[in-house]
Amino acid sequence: MKALVCVKRVIDYNVKPRVKADGTGVDLANVKMSMNPFDEIAVEEAIRLKEKGVVTEIVAVSVGPQKAQETLRTALAMGADRAILVMTDDEMEPLAVAKIVKAIADEEAPGIIITGKQAIDDDNNQVGQMIAALLGRPQGTFANEITVEGDAIVVKREVDGGLETVKLAAPAIVTTDLRLNEPRYASLPNIMKAKNKPMAQKTPADYGVDTTPRLKTLKVVEPPVRVAGIKVPDVDALVAKLKEMGIPA
């Protein structure tokens, strides 16, 4: 079984995003970028499936600027076998990304496509589901556990009420949740080896995908500053304060 893993270059999760002065978007100048944390989990899960002998080859895919090569090299250093970079400087919407991944899947014929459940920059949580819809394949979202049983992929997924288990006929699409695994750190020898692993470079036009945006960002603003809390000496003072604020006690 071949595994296709989608990865995205985003602002590092330790960095506090800054909004541009004109409110047109997030300022990416001189900001540390890294692999989307949920995509790291997806890469790790593909590697674990390979270590179990279930997956034979891992192909990492990214859609983004030239610098997304660094993100793919990280995936290769973790254990992916080869990579495909679809280069574009356009702001990519989920549907365009899903169409590109669908076209790659048509060429590669993977038995499983693994993506992070969402990217931490736009929080859309749409690409995995759109890929499944475009391919007409079953999907298991918010995966907490993944096992392969013959030609079926069993996914234990996180839902509001707890955990739900679904059995999918391969090929299938799986999106990873936070508690699926703990991604490994790439060792220095593997980082060096990753430099020699193959990375194909394509463009959206190579797959016949129109990346013209269908959505327009009107304005981006920072969240309001939280008002500091206050302390009250006892319950009576609390009730009085709530009444003063117009909140039913």
Contacts of 241 (CB under 8 A, 6+ apart): 230, 232
What is residue 240's three-state secondary structure? helix
Query: How many CB atoms neighbour CB 182 within 10 A?
Result: 8
pLDDT tens-digit series, residues 180-196: 999 999 889 999 999 99
What is the pTM for the complete model shown?
0.87
**Domains of the chain by residue range:** 2-244
Across the chain, mean pLDDT equals 93
Question: 131: which 2 tokens?
Answer: 């890929």
pLDDT number for residue 23: 86
Q: Which fold has domain 2-244?
A: Rossmann fold (3.40.50)
249 confidence band (pLDDT: 50, 70, 90): low
CA distance 215 to 227: 33
Give the bridge partners for 167, in sequence order.
154
Give the bridge partners for 149, in sequence order.
152
Asked if residue 92 has pLDDT above 80, the reply is yes
